[in-house]
């Protein structure tokens, strides 16, 4: 288990994640944090995003297309990817419901199920309106 040492860069990344409802890619995080730390490198952003995800201060969302996305909200929750614009939004499903899906899976599976990730696909409100 590694000993953590404070770093301004990591603090800034964490703060940015906490203050956005977007679900930015590593590159997007990089561009934003760069405003405060012009010399920060993409490698540092990746290292910190992975570190934050490892210690539970962020969530990595694996998506089929393009790069992974990161989320500062750490309680279990779901996401919807808009198939038209690619935006990722939170889906407010109750934690009870999420837990019950885990339990259902565990009771069916011949082994142990401890967690799951779900990614919904659809169309966001904005894109639905544009289609009209």
Structure tokens at 12: 């800034």
Owner of token pair 């288990």: 1
Among 72, 110, 130, 132, binds a copy of itself (CB under 8 A): 110
CB closer to a copy of itself out of 3 and 129:
129
Site string for a copy of itself, 44-73 (x = CB under 8 A): ----------------x-xxx---x-----
Residue 83 annotated as lining a ligand binding site: no
Residue 8 in contact with DNA, rule: CB under 7 A? yes
CA distances from 72 to 2, 21, 52, 125, 128 (A): 22, 9, 9, 23, 27
Annotated binding site for Fe cation: 116
């Amino acid at each position: 288990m590694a000993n953590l040492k404070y770093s301004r860069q990591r603090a800034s990344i964490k703060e940015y994640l906490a203050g956005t409802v977007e679900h930015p890619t590593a590159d997007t995080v990089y561009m934003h944090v760069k405003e405060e730390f012009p010399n920060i490198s993409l490698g540092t952003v990746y290292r910190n995003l992975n570190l934050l995800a490892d210690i539970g201060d962020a969530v990595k969302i694996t998506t089929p297309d393009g790069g992974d996305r990161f989320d500062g909200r750490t309680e279990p929750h779901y996401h919807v990817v808009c198939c038209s614009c690619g935006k990722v939004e939170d889906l407010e499903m109750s934690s009870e419901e999420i837990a019950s899906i885990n339990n259902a899976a565990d009771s069916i599976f011949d082994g142990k199920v401890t967690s799951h990730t779900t990614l919904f696909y659809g169309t966001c409100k904005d894109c639905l309106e544009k289609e009209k």
